[in-house]
Each structure stands twice: as C-alpha cells, then as structure tokens.
Structure 1
Amino acid sequence: MRKLRTWVSDVIHYLLLRVSAAFSSVMPDAVIDIAARITGFIAWNASSDLRRVTTGHMRQVLPVNSPEKLIDDKAREILINVSRYYFDLGRYPRLIGPDFAEYIDEFHGLEVLFEAFDRGNGVIIVSAHLGNPEIVGQAIGQFGLCAGVISEELRNPRIERYMQKIRSTTGVRFFPTNFNGLLRARRHLRAGGLLALLGDRDIQGNSSNSLFFGAQAPIPDGIVSLAMSTGADVVSFWAPRTGVGKYSLYFKKISFMEGDQRDDIARGHNMEVLIGEIEYGITQWPEQWFPLSPIWSISSENIQTHD
C-alpha cells in the first residue's frame, strides 16, 4: 500500500511539474504570479504538515518572541515562493535569452565572481534554498564561464530526467549527489571551473550537527572539505525575488582559514564562517527560504536560543 501511495504521489508530482512549466512558458509574468499565489494559498490551507514545517522554521529563524501572526504570515509566504520556484521552470527559456538583464533588478558583487574565477583555482559558489538559487546557472551561463552544479538526486527517475532536461538548457553541467557525480564535480573544480551547491540542508543524511540559528541541526560540511582540499575560492550567492518575475543577484567572497582538512581548528572555524554566511542570507529574506522538510528536530525548534 505504501508503494502504491508513493507511486501515485510521484505521478501527481510529475504531472504538476509538466503543467506548471507549460503554463508559465506561455503566460505573462503577472498571470504566473497570480497562479503561484493561489497555489501557495491552497497548499497552506490543505496541508497541516507544510504548515508545521514552515512555521517551525520561521519560529527558529525570526527574532525570539516574534508574534504568531508574523510567523504565520512569513510561513504562508514561503509556500507562495515555492510555487513561484516551480512556475519558474517554464520561464527558463526567457531567462537564458538576450533579455536576461531585464529580469535582474540589481547585480551586487559581480566583480567578486570574476576575480575568483580569474585566479584559476576553481570557485565554489554557495547558496541555500532561497529565492531561486538555480538562477545562478542562468546567470553564469550568460557570461560564458565553465559552470557546474551539484544537484540533489530525485527519488523518481522520470522527474529527475525532466528536471535535468530543463536545467541543462543553459549549458551548465549538473552533477548528482552520488559517488560518480561528486567525483566528476571535484575534477571539474580542480580544472578551474565554477561549482555551485546549496549548504543549508543535509541531503545525504550523514552530516554532523552544528549550531544553526541557535539550535543543533545537521549542516553538511562538504563545502568546507572541498575548499580546504582543493584551494578553491568560495563565494556566496543569493537570488532573492524583488518583484513579479524579477530578482537581484548578490555575490560575496567567503574567507576561509587555510589549513589541512585534518586541522580541526581551521575546519571548525571555516564551518562557523560558512554557517554565518548562510544565516545572513536567510535572515535577510526569511519568507523566501523554502526547505519543506524539517531542518531542526521538534525539540530543537522549540529551544530558539539565538539572539
């Protein structure tokens, strides 16, 4: 029975992806945004699980003693932004075209990206599930840089193939989170390429706990390991939504302490720096941070010890 439910869920997910992408490929941005708002509103009212996860995240991220109405409002907006993220799939042909700049309100720190790339040591681009992190692929593709992205392997092969087909339209290489994919990603980085990945969620289920917004959560340390073992530059990237169909892009250099991977002091310091950068981005745009599975345990969410 469980297998049947999983199969039905995957089929529905796949069909919704196809329908949303087809819809947004032909509709104007204003209509797409209305559809995303309606979809997010329905999801908020229909799923107690989504309400629980998103309000739990906002309760941890927002200042201590934030009003419940503010927490609910921000959590509801998360589901609207999730809907916008999926509707964006059909907009990618526009985003990779000659009118790309029309969809970007502001570029911040773009010179940081080019300076890091010119050093030739490879560049790790770090972001989180916020705004539309996949815009980094569209943006880098415009500049002709050698870019790759580590992407989570999806459970359903049909959905995985469909998503990769859409994502690869920019010419950006995608590496799955399996042994061969990660090995190819490392080679790509060592060859001086750019490698983008998200650092706010434990995809593989083997991360140690770190202090994240004042509570223990499994945060992957692969970014720190990769940077320390390859000598690659590390740059944070944020693509928050700024209006209907529009974004701003932010690049910032992250300075890690040099040292061997076995240097616990350097490794610990670099992990703190990385988490601090991720926390900064989420704090700036909390309602655009959209992981839909719990980051903290229920008990951790209730602690909320951050300032």
Structure 2
Amino acid sequence: MTPAASRPLGKRLGFAVEYALLRVGVAAISLLPIDRRIAAVGRVGEMLVPRVPALRRRAMANLDLALPGTPPERQEEILREMGNNFGRLLMEYGLLTELMREPERVHLDGPGLQAIRASQAAGRGAIIVSAHFGNWESIRMGLKHAGIECGMIYRAFNNPHFDTLVRGRMLAAGEPVMVKGRKGMRAFVEHLSHGGVALILVDQKQTGAPRLPFMGIPAETVPAAAQLALRHKIPMVPAFGRRLEDGQSFDVTLEAPIEGADALERMVTVNARISDWIRRYPGQWLWLHHRWR
C-alpha cells in the first residue's frame, strides 16, 4: 500500500472528501434501527455500483469472461445484487461492534468446525481461507460466538481514512488484525506458529503468482496459505459467509479441510470450492477485482 503522505495531493484530497461524504451519510441515518441502516446503504449500493462507468465496465468484463452466455437481464440482476451486498457490507463494517452483540445473526455449521477444534485441542492453530463473498467477516463473528478467536490478515482499503476506521472495528470480530505486506505476513506466521486461528481472503491476484484455474480460467493465485498449512501441519479450512434472503443474517459454512501433499494442488482445490459458491450465488461475489488481468 502506498504511504498516505506520499500519495499525490489530488488523490489525498479525493480520499478526504470521499470519507467526509461517507461520514455525513452515515450520520444522516444514525437514528434508524441497525437493520434499516444496513438496508438503506444496500439500496444506495444497488443504485450506484452498476452506474459508475469504471466499475460497470470491470464487472461486466469479468461476468462475460467467467460466466459466458449469461443473458443481459441476468447480468444486470447480478450487478444489482452485488451492489446491494457491497453497500450492506460497508455499513456492517461500521457496525461490527454492535452486530457482535447479536449472535443470532450468524448460523455456523460444517465439518471444518470440528477440524479447527481438534487442531486447537492438540495445541495447533488453523488457517481459514475464503473470498470476497457475502460478508466474510461473518465467518470470524460466528467463530468468536463459538468460542474460537479468529484473527485476520487483509489488504488495506484504498482510502486510508476508511481503513483506519474499519480496522478498529474489525477487532470486535476477532484478534489480531494484520495488514498484508512484509510486516503483516511475519505477524500472521507468528500467530499461526503459536496455535492461532486466522482468516485470509485468497481470491485476489498478485503479479507473478502461479496461474491456477479460477472459474475455469487461469488466474494468479498466491499459494502462501497452503504452504503455511503444510509447514505448520494445521488444517486449511475453506469458509463462506453467505448472506441470507432477509439481507441481515448469514449462513457460515466451514467446509472440510483441504488435503493434498502439494501447496499448488491444495490451492487448485480452494479455487474450485470458491468457484462453486460464486456459480451458485453470483450476486454475492465482488466482481470488481482485476482477477484475471
């Protein structure tokens, strides 16, 4: 991430204005009940995201590539669903502390939960791998309600003001919270080596990483999660926090741990699991990344 002070003045001013508008908007609806606030920002996202030219072009290009043959009306529906989910997600980040007081919002299930508990009982940790799907923070929320502290390593948000705000709230769902980069990865490895559990999102490209199938298309995929799981002899558990039809609650599935002697083989399986969820619920994946470029 580019240090804030070294960014061009115009970019810094843009981020400041963007953040100020966000705070004004949040303040304007702060008296509404939590569910209505989340729904309101979801509707804003549903209206705006498909209409911002750069975002629309990127999402449509990804849809054409990954889901060829999708009728135009279905593509529009997916874009609206994605925008709604994205808006809700942003609001939920700001409300993580409050949402943690409502454990009934998250239903946690799947064979991966038993695998994590068994690993912890043996004095070891676990790596949770997921994607920008649904609300990935619901995974850590559900685990914390189940008595499992789950940290996270994440890529910092582009807007540094928003990133600072969100990072403080992310601690409510589990600690530690680490930022991707050399320092963050060292902390991530240390956390795992001491028996910790942590979540990492693995669906973004990194230039130079091995090109492995993702939605059936070669995509640069970082194998670090699988390498660390093999090195520390801990389970690597795919997890997905699907937003339910009410828009306010989540079904978190902890799948069976990924097996295999080779890190790349494991990441091929991870990509396949993620792809399955995207195909089933395409409106819940963030189609805005340059995943295949």
- TM-score normalised by the shorter chain: which range applies? 0.7 to 0.9
Q: Which residue is equivalent to 2:92?
A: 88
Alignment-mate amino acid for residue 78 of structure 1:
M
Alignment-mate amino acid for residue 44 of structure 2:
I
Structure 2 residue 282 is the aligned partner of structure 1 residue 286: yes
Equivalent-residue separation in structure 1 for 2:97 and 2:26 (angstroms): 11
Q: What is the CA distance between 1:95 and its match in structure 2?
A: 1.8
**TM-score, scaled to structure 1:** 0.83
Q: What is the CA distance between 1:21 and its match in structure 2?
A: 5.0
1:251-296 per-residue CA deviation (whole Å, 9 max, x = no partner) reads: 11223213xxxxxxx2332221121122122222211101523212
SS at match of 2:139: helix
When residues 143 and 13 of structure 1 are mapped into structure 2, their CA distance, relative to the original with a 3 A threshold, is: farther
**Contact 2:136–2:240 (CA under 8 A) maintained in structure 1:** yes
1:86-110 per-residue CA deviation (whole Å, 9 max, x = no partner) reads: 011233223211x312x13x43214
Equivalent-residue separation in structure 2 for 1:178 and 1:214 (angstroms): 28
Q: What is the CA distance between 1:16 and its match in structure 2?
A: 4.3
- Tell me the number of residue pairs that the alignment of Structure 1 and Structure 2 aligns: 283
Q: What is the CA distance between 1:31 and its match in structure 2?
A: 4.8
Structure 2 residue 13 is the aligned partner of structure 1 residue 8: yes
SS at match of 2:134: coil
Given candidates 116, 122, 125, the residue that maps to 1:122 is 125
Q: What is the CA distance between 1:17 and its match in structure 2?
A: 4.3
Q: Which residue is equivalent to 2:39?
A: 33
The 5 Å alignment of 1:45-194 reads 45=51, 47-62=52-67, 64-97=68-101, 99-101=102-104, 103-104=105-106, 106-109=107-110, 110-194=113-197
Q: Which residue is equivalent to 2:222?
A: 220
Counting aligned pairs with the same residue, the percent is 23
| CA root-mean-square deviation | 2.3
Which structure 2 residue ranges, 5 or more long, are not aligned?
A: 1-6
Question: Which moves more between the two structures, 4-13 or 158-167?
Answer: 4-13
When residues 108 and 145 of structure 1 are mapped into structure 2, their CA distance, relative to the original with a 3 A threshold, is: closer
Q: What is the CA distance between 1:172 and its match in structure 2?
A: 1.8
Q: Which residue is equivalent to 2:252?
A: 249
